[in-house]
Amino acid sequence: MTPEMQDGGGELSAPTIWLIAVRDDRDRVAFGRLFDHFAPRLTAMMLRAGLPRAQAEDLVQEVMLTAWQKAGQFDAGRAQASAWIYRIARNRQIDHFRRNRRPLPDAVEMGVEDREDDAQQALALGQETGHLRAALAKLSEEQRAVIEQSFLGDLTHAEIRQRTGLPMGTIKSRIRLGLERLRHELKELR
């Protein structure tokens, strides 16, 4: 039993358990599971940020290598594995954009148009977030709960089943129906 479990730190997600195994035992099988779990999610995150697929996949490789190398620094008492790994990914993404797109410090200062573009992007992001919140609010409580656990909580269907006691078919059905409703609602809100 790990110290995190002994201290009553709550239920640990499967990715957190795998990362603890990597941290404590350098467990390659657990790392393979972590990689299989996070690589597609991180790749999608990088693609949404506008990176070409090849660069996104390269960054994901860097993120997972860093996770392997720095697993000893992971503290499950402070964060779940998903938060820890996504933070590494976000930092790598920022580093990438700084290296490849940002002017050198002595180069051109940000112009008025750039600041306006940033403001427009921030406004658009705020509007999209508002649309998503409004669409989530229209879901049934049951659908919203499993969607939030799956997508925001980064839980597998099996982990949701363990937490809720619901049958796997019910979980999958609620997610599918909830996503269909979200698509419909978001289309209506635009």
Is 109 part of any domain? Answer: no
pLDDT tens digit sequence for 71-95: 999 998 888 899 899 999 988 888 8
Tokens of 22: 């990597």
Q: Is residue 155 pLDDT above 80, yes or no? A: no
- What is the dihedral sign for C-alpha 38, 43, 44, 46? positive
Task: Please tell me the total count of domains within the chain.
Answer: 2
pLDDT tens digit sequence for 169-179: 999 999 889 88
Is 27 part of any domain? Answer: yes
75 torsion bin: left (phi>0), alpha (psi -120 to 50), beta (else): beta
Higher pLDDT, residue 124 or 92? 92
In the listed set 75, 104, 133, which residue is the last one of a domain according to the structure? 104
* Residue 91: per-residue pLDDT: 86
- Among 7-11, 17-21, 23-27, 51-55, the minimum mean pLDDT is found in 7-11
Residues 19 and 49 in one domain: yes
Which ranges in the chain belong to alpha helices (H)?
3-6, 14-25, 28-48, 53-69, 81-101, 112-137, 141-147, 157-164, 168-189
Range of the domain at 179: 115-190
Q: What pTM, to 2 d.p., does this model score?
A: 0.51
Q: Is residue 108 pLDDT above 90, yes or no? A: no
- Among 60-69, 71-80, 101-110, 178-187, the minimum mean pLDDT is found in 101-110
Alpha-carbon span 93 to 87, nearest angstrom: 10
Residues 97 and 41 in one domain: yes
Q: Is residue 111 pLDDT above 90, yes or no? A: no
Q: Is residue 189 pLDDT above 70, yes or no? A: no
Find the CATH number of the domain harbouring 15. 1.10.1740.10
pLDDT tens digit sequence for 26-65: 999 999 999 999 999 999 888 888 888 888 899 999 999 9
Say which residues have a Cβ less than 8 Å from residue 155's Cβ, sequence separation at least 6.
13, 149, 163
